[in-house]
């Protein structure tokens, strides 16, 4: 909220939030494109491996957390209906998505225990959360199948 005090009016603060939201989406798209192009250009890999999907999912979880956080700030500025407890609830969810993304990127042993419920919850956030949840469940099924074989 202190950042908004730097601006003379609410419209410039809202425009700044829109820019940050666009930047978060652009970074996630660029990181996915980089991972896909890197794995396609490598001669020993003909397709994207499960490890590449894990890293992409980690970046998407972090990006989804950032988007939720920026949306919470946006709605707290624009809407008078958002209370402090609503903001803290969304902030806690944003932090959980960031931690889940970190755990996917760095392959922590507890990453699946955190990502499965978050993916189930993200299914209700149409369209980005739904895509994230379905992608994670596809990855999880493939990961379990690869461990069995």
Tokens of 125: 């956030």
Q: Please calculate the CA angle 63-19-30 and round it to the nearest 5 degrees.
A: 45
Per-residue pLDDT, 97: 95
Domain ranges of the chain: 11-148
> pLDDT tens digits, residue range 74-98?
777 777 777 888 888 888 999 999 9
Categorise residue 23: left if φ over 0, alpha if ψ from -120 to 50, beta otherwise.
alpha
- Distance of alpha carbon 64 from alpha carbon 57, whole angstroms: 10
55 burial level (CB within 10 Å; 0-12, 13-18, 19+): buried
Averaged pLDDT, 53-60: 89
> pLDDT tens digits, residue range 60-74?
899 899 888 888 887
Q: Is the pLDDT of residue 3 over 70?
A: no
Q: Is the pLDDT of residue 37 over 90?
A: no
pTM: 0.74
Report which DSSP code applies to 43: T
């Amino acid at each position: 909220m202190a950042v908004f005090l730097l601006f003379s009016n609410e419209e410039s603060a809202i425009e700044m939030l829109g820019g940050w939201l666009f930047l978060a989406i652009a970074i996630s798209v660029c990181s996915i494109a980089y991972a896909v192009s890197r794995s396609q250009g490598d001669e020993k890999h003909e397709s994207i491996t499960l490890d590449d999907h894990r890293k992409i999912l980690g970046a998407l979880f972090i990006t989804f957390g950032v988007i939720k956080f920026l949306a919470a700030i946006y709605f707290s500025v624009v809407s008078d209906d958002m209370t402090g407890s609503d903001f803290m609830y969304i902030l806690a969810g944003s932090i959980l998505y960031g931690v889940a993304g970190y755990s996917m990127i760095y392959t922590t042993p507890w990453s699946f225990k955190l990502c499965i419920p978050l993916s189930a919850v993200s299914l209700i956030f149409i369209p980005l959360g739904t895509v994230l949840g379905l992608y994670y469940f596809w990855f999880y099924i493939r990961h379990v199948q690869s461990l069995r074989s």
